[in-house]
Structure 1
Amino acid sequence: MNPSDWLHVTRGEAPLVVSIPHAGTIIPSDIEARLVSPWLARKDADWWLEQLYAFADALDATVIRTGVSRTVIDVNRDPSGVSLYPGQATTSLCPVDTFDGEPLYLDGQEPSAAEIARRRITFFDPYHAGLEAELDRLVALHGKVVLYDAHSIRSRAPRLFDGELPQFNIGTNGGAACDPGLPLRVETACDATGLPRVTDGRFKGGWITRRHGRPDQGVHAVQMELACRGYIDEPAVLTSDNWPTPYSAARAAPLQAALGDVLKACIAFANST
């Protein structure tokens, strides 16, 4: 596949890049034929984030997203294979199971090391090259830029975390990915909603935040992991008949307004001296 088939970049001039790495659903036919279920392979997508963050264009932000499913390759994982969360359950560069531990591939059909290397060249490397190019462009223009890595996940995923996830989960790699002023502004915008928020909790930031967050070079990165309940209904038990639930603009409007304040706070930080 050519990058033009799946790599989507909308360029803006504001000092903000919004990365959406997990909302894709494209699975090449040769890979899909080896899967247990196409629905299962798309179950853990960050559903409807393209619609939820559609307002970013009006803020003149740059948006980069991949249309490829994270089952094909997860562009937010360390390409060396090292776990981002040692000692905790997580998925790999080319996942072989779901968040709930269900196998994705038919017996004996998991990707080999050689296939994983090909997928990295085809999908992983172009995504990060595109992200790097946009960050470099905007740093040259502004001197200081925010990289906002947008994610969402079910409120409950017992294999990954205990209990119910807060609505807003801010990740800064323990403060290494940005100057302290950025999470403070993002936290203020989140806290104004009255909804639960945590910073550097279960989700401290993935490979995108850790790789591209270079505050000493003008790139300040923050990850936002949303609990899905903020914008869509979450069935107690997920099946192919009820998941994903449809996107409703009216249902998502309150959270979308809050996220608008979050992105404006990011731009304000980038414009601050």
Structure 2
Amino acid sequence: MDEVLSFSRGRVPLLISMPHAGTRLTDEVEAGLVEQARSLPDTDWHIPRLYDFAAELGASTLAAQYSRFVIDLNRPADDTPLYASATTGLFPETLFDGTPLFRPGQQPSAAARADYLARIWTPYHQCLAAELARLKAEFGYALLFDAHSICSRVPRLFDGRLPDFNLGTHSGASCAPELAARLQASCARAEGYSQALNGRFKGGHITRHYGRPGEQVHAVQLELAQCNYMDEQPPYAYRSDLAAPTRAVIRDLLETLLAWGRERYGG
């Protein structure tokens, strides 16, 4: 499965999912991309590196290897729209700025896309579901943190500059409200950063589908403004000077998440 996903099993009841970190392309997708797409904008750049302290916390991690330009792992298999406003689907046809992703007539075939669903989307979700089930069986509960990032300014998707830390809990449906409040407070303590809860980003398919607080599975999405850890223009360089303080905030978020779980469920 190394070609499709990277998975590491941890020792605490937390799984960090990174569905948009991949940069691998299929031959069909690569051949059809417009020139503007070849630098892979809209990728959640460097997210595995940003979260590479997860092993110290004991968290499990799951990261995609294929680009969202091939198939978007944070969309439902039936491609039901998640937002009423502008967005991208299971098989993206545009960049975030509205530019067509493929040259005319060069989109992958229906057969190719059916293969992507079976070979890329399905294994990721099977692994995610299996790990959450394992965590719940071992600990009595499971915590899912869906890790994302996005350019801080995308006029087609939102007005002005995005807050630095954007937490999404499907408007309160994917995790306990007291957990969401605790996480928002963690962000608010971080000097120099802005934050929002269930603003423009309420959580995608993964948060909405797997977050079932009534069944002791709590899911939260973080959409991080990329200006906090990298250059937002090609070649999208990682900026250690920016990333170091941002990583400290993320680590506090994850430690807050784990502490809440221990308080709520024991252990």
Post-superposition offset of 1:244: 3.5
Alpha-carbon distance in structure 2 between the residues aligned to 1:37 and 1:131: 34
Post-superposition offset of 1:270: 1.6
Letter in 2 for 1:251: L
Equivalent position to 1:270, from 221, 239, 261: 261
Question: What residue is the counterpart of 1:186 in the other structure?
Answer: 183
Are 1:40 and 1:104, in contact at CA under 8 Å, matched by a contact in 2? no
Compared CA separation, residues 71 and 178, structure 1 to 2 (3 A) = same
Post-superposition offset of 1:217: 1.5
Alpha-carbon distance in structure 2 between the residues aligned to 1:6 and 1:79: 17
Aligned-residue Cα RMSD (Å) equals 1.4
Which residues of 2 match residues 65-104 of structure 1 at below 5 A?
65-86=63-84, 88-104=85-101
Are 1:177 and 1:222, in contact at CA under 8 Å, matched by a contact in 2? yes
Please give the per-residue CA displacement for 1:86-129, whole angstroms capped at 9, x wherever unaligned.
2x000010101100111111211223443322211111111000
TM-score, length basis structure 2: 0.94
Moved more, 68-77 or 3-12: 3-12
Question: What residue is the counterpart of 1:209 in the other structure?
Answer: 207
Please give the per-residue CA displacement for 1:110-157, whole angstroms capped at 9, x wherever unaligned.
234433222111111110000001101111111122100000001100
Runs of 4 or more above 6 Å deviation: none
Is 1:115 the equivalent of 2:115?
no
Compared CA separation, residues 217 and 28, structure 1 to 2 (3 A) = same
Are 2:166 and 2:223, in contact at CA under 8 Å, matched by a contact in 1? yes
Between the two proteins, the alignment pairs up a number of residues equal to: 263
TM-score, length basis structure 1: 0.92
Alpha-carbon distance in structure 2 between the residues aligned to 1:188 and 1:272: 17
Equivalent position to 2:141, from 139, 144, 147: 144
Post-superposition offset of 1:40: 3.6
Question: What residue is the counterpart of 2:52 in the other structure?
Answer: 54
SS in 2 for 1:54: coil
Alpha-carbon distance in structure 2 between the residues aligned to 1:155 and 1:251: 14
Is 1:228 the equivalent of 2:219?
no
Equivalent position to 2:153, from 130, 152, 156: 156
Are 1:41 and 1:71, in contact at CA under 8 Å, matched by a contact in 2? no
Between the two proteins, what is the percent identity of the paired residues? 46
Equivalent position to 2:127, from 102, 123, 130: 130
Alpha-carbon distance in structure 1 between the residues aligned to 2:74 and 2:205: 5
Give structure 2 stretches of 5+ with no counterpart: none
Post-superposition offset of 1:30: 3.0
Equivalent position to 1:11, from 9, 12, 32: 9
Alpha-carbon distance in structure 2 between the residues aligned to 1:180 and 1:52: 27
SS in 1 for 2:32: coil
Give structure 1 stretches of 5+ with no counterpart: none
